[in-house]
Structure 1
Amino acid sequence: MDLDFNDFHGLYLFLASLGLIWFLALWTIWLLGTWTARSRYRLRPRSPLSSATRTAVPGVSILRPLKGLDTNLYENLESTFTQEYPNFELLCCVADEDDQALPVVRELKSRYPHVDAKILIGDEDVGINPKVNNLMSGYRAAKNDILWVIDSNVTVHSGTLARAVDALRTPTKSGKRVALVHHVPFAFSTESRVGSRIDEAFLNTNHAKMYLAINTVAIESCVVGKSNLYRRSDLERVNGSLKPITSTEPNAKQDGICGLPAFGRFLAEDNMIASALWHELGLRHDLSCDVARNVVGNMSLRDYVQRRVRWIRVRKNMVLAATLVEPFTESIVLVSIGSSSLKYLFGFSRWLCVLLHFCMLLFVDLDVYTSLAGHPLPQSIRWEFLAGWVAREVLALPIFILAIVGNRVEWRGRQYEVLNNGEVKFVSNHRSFLHSLEFLGWSRSQKYQAVETEAVLP
């Protein structure tokens, strides 16, 4: 039996209509992120807490995990010494007494003697995540309930802490208590390296507008842990199981190990802490009007690809369905769907659709950049940034395909295997041709060290 085009017209019509709906839905999300950036970040009012007395504001313990000489380290750390907030302590945590970051911290302590700053040396082995192990000394020593954990490669505005505390104490529109305040990363590169420019373009455009849109809709936890503010009393009630606490007791907690030690088994401990506060306690998150200025530093193209592969593989093992949808949110795949749908339904030119799509996308992304940076894209980096933007869009799908077929990741020079629940375990650091194939996901033969993650769930 011969089949002609009309036999499939209904199916084609359905698929074209579905494709157009998806195309318009993604553009709606992008525009929502752009609007959020404009409305939230173009005006950053000074918090009244900045000029309050010490006894009138809640105390905050700032925890900064340090390891080595990160790019711009002095300025990054100084930005927490100069916070306009009357009641905070600063705890700088290093694992090794020979760490190169220590002279920088000591110099800042002598320059700002009025700041209650302490250096805590030594880590505590609570899991496989070295950042969590490093933070444990500060977590144990902190004298305040509110903790601000901020990465060593991040610098912040002097009013950031006061505005974050404001957000933490303000309920959401639905009346739910805010358990965590986070800051959208804003990258800036100090070097003209290919990977640095691509990462800068990615974080300040595509990532930012999606991050802001998802957090504006707020139907699920979505947090990057560059700069997070939360209460230790809340964290001490959760364990990363993501199972709601069923007890009606006011301060009921999960069974077993809770608090920061419970999250040492995860590579993405920041995301898991946020998810635990959301799902286990039923609380919510908020964004203040500040950004976490993430210093990218010297990043090669391989470094960029490796970083993206790492976090796609981590997300795949935490939220598989959402990760599998990611390719269809990328601009090149999306415009292929949208242009084909418009061509079939209305006879609209594919090439005209592609041209309009990318012109509008570039305009939107540069607008997001302007909102977060507080100024337009500087002329000094214009062409490098635009080249990075184009490269990011072109590389997005190949990197996803590379990442989706494997589970091995590399972080700070160590190899990990990501497990199905988002936990990780060490694998051999032996480098060989087989290692290269394993990194690409083409070989599943692996050589595990005799190091296992201790189960901490009940």
Structure 2
Amino acid sequence: MDHDFDDFHGFYLFLASLGLIWFLALWTLWLLGTWAARSRYRLRPRSPLSSAARTAVPGVSILRPLKGLDTNLYENLESTFTQEYPNFEILLCVADEDDQALPVVRELISKYPHVSAKISIGEEDVGINPKVNNLMGGYRSAANDILWVLDSNVTVHAGTLARAVDALQTPTKSGKRVALVHHVPFAFSTESRVGSRIDEAFLNTNHAKMYLAINTIAIESCVVGKSNLYRRSDLERVNGSLKPITSTEPNAKQDGLCGLAAFGRFLAEDNMIASALWHELGLRHDLSCDVARNVVGNMSLRDYVQRRVRWIRVRKNMVFAATLVEPFTESIVLVAIGSSSLKYLFGLSRWLCIVIHFCMLLIVDLDVYTSLAGHRLPQSIKWGFLAGWVARELLALPIFILAIFGNTVEWRGLEYEVLNNGEVKYVSNRQSFFDSFEFLRRYRPKKYQAVETEPVLP
């Protein structure tokens, strides 16, 4: 009996020690993300490129895919026209001539006649991804090698482009060339809908600190597609296979279709482009000191849940093992592991550990918010933001369980099946999983057009 007790004690001691190591490792990662936010975003110096001569800087073609009247659309697009950079053009891409975004676009072109801006109407069917199809006309007609693809629901600071070009031209500490510059999303909600507040809290706290921490470690590609700057000459060499190019030729490329058209088969084309540049060319990514201000529109609770389910299912079919670890990185599961481990090893009160954990987590998350926003959490949204933060933490595990069992996702009102390699295929005449629940269908908006993307975490 004593021998059996010793065996169980040794096993429990091992589990408790492992749990404590995991608990401390995640907290180290969170603190790293918090430090990265403080060191990168609390000071945004002006780039010398902002005041350089036109001929002294590389030209940039800004591609903005448009569909309908996104929230804050005028201000979002205007922020592109007012970039403090001497050499850029803007290509505004819509699928058809009846798109509601066109009057807004034409008004801005009239307002800023000195800016080289063109409208690209029509789409090229290169795959199942409508954003890629929409962008193809602008991509093919772009005058410059450097492309800045910027979603329509994003607004940026006037110095963003200059600082991004700086980052693109600066090698990493290891000496590798930077192939892509991206910006961490910073959400702000113009609506008081439940889903909008939860998404705002999520993007500005948990998502941001993990995103920054992973990119600080930089052992794998981790990119959000809200705002990406890269070279067309690099993209034309890759195809999304993620297989390294073995040829020693300076401009060697993959066989078959390459370039933007090759990524039309993916739902998360931005993640695949970033991964292709990383793995196929062996190049690296960097963040500048700017954020992509992501306007969160009229998002219901159903929209929020649906969006989280969609991207968990995409990640599951691309990085299955890493996706299975995700629940153990969420605060509630993590504190359950940590408090149980501390109780067994040191006799500490579980409730004391839980209270300290969540108090520290809130302090850390609000510090990340302050770094990204440039100011403390405004009193006007304080309670709504905190309620969204609590709801996000409570919903994380249930949403994951809902998402892990299934491969179909809903996007722009259509149903798709996610395949094992990250590609998707259209599923016709299928009822959405959410529509089988009356209380979720009741809150489905009639017109919600936002196209959202997320990083596929390593």
Which residue matches 2:351?
351
State the Cα deviation string for residues 407-431 of structure 1 (Å, max 9, x = none): 1101111111000000000011443
Q: Distance in 1 between matches of 2:5 and 2:411?
A: 52
Structure 2: tracts of 5 or more residues without a match: 441-458
SS of residue matched to 1:68: coil
Which residue matches 2:42?
42
Q: CA RMSD in A?
A: 1.4
Q: Does the alignment pair 1:135 with 2:135?
A: yes
Which residue matches 2:447?
none
State the Cα deviation string for residues 366-387 of structure 1 (Å, max 9, x = none): 0000000000000000000000
Q: Does the alignment pair 1:295 with 2:295?
A: yes
Which residue matches 1:56?
56
SS of residue matched to 1:255: coil
Q: Distance in 2 between matches of 1:10 and 1:430?
A: 52
SS of residue matched to 1:61: strand
State the Cα deviation string for residues 81-121 of structure 1 (Å, max 9, x = none): 00000000000000010000000000000000000000010
Runs of 4+ in 1 over 6 A off after TM superposition: 432-435
CA offset at residue 436 of structure 1? 3.0
State the Cα deviation string for residues 166-191 of structure 1 (Å, max 9, x = none): 00000000000000000000000001
Amino acid at match of 1:84: E
Which residue matches 2:449?
none
Judge conservation of contact 2:415–2:432 (CA < 8 Å) in 1: no
Judge conservation of contact 2:65–2:131 (CA < 8 Å) in 1: yes
Which residue matches 2:321?
321
Amino acid at match of 2:185: P
**Change in 2 beyond 3 A, CA 1:277/1:331:** same
**Change in 2 beyond 3 A, CA 1:406/1:3:** farther
Amino acid at match of 1:351: W
Deviates more, 1:116-125 or 1:6-15: 6-15
**Change in 2 beyond 3 A, CA 1:113/1:421:** same
**Change in 2 beyond 3 A, CA 1:342/1:382:** same
CA offset at residue 74 of structure 1? 0.2
Any residues of structure 2 matched to 1:94-113 within 5 Å, and which? 94-113=94-113
Judge conservation of contact 1:414–1:429 (CA < 8 Å) in 2: no
Which residue matches 1:449?
none
Any residues of structure 2 matched to 1:181-200 within 5 Å, and which? 181-200=181-200
Q: Distance in 1 between matches of 2:187 and 2:3?
A: 55
Which residue matches 1:122?
122
Which residue matches 1:262?
262
Identity of matched residues, %: 90
Q: Does the alignment pair 1:381 with 2:381?
A: yes
SS of residue matched to 1:117: strand
Q: Distance in 1 between matches of 2:105 and 2:383?
A: 36
Judge conservation of contact 1:189–1:297 (CA < 8 Å) in 2: yes
Q: Distance in 2 between matches of 1:84 and 1:415?
A: 41
Which residue matches 2:309?
309
Q: Distance in 2 between matches of 1:377 and 1:434?
A: 34
Q: Distance in 2 between matches of 1:432 and 1:215?
A: 35
Which residue matches 2:154?
154
Judge conservation of contact 2:85–2:161 (CA < 8 Å) in 1: yes
Q: Does the alignment pair 1:397 with 2:397?
A: yes
Deviates more, 1:132-141 or 1:408-417: 408-417
Which residue matches 1:235?
235
State the Cα deviation string for residues 423-442 of structure 1 (Å, max 9, x = none): 000011443789638xx9xx
SS of residue matched to 1:113: coil
Aligned residues: 438
Q: Does the alignment pair 1:406 with 2:406?
A: yes
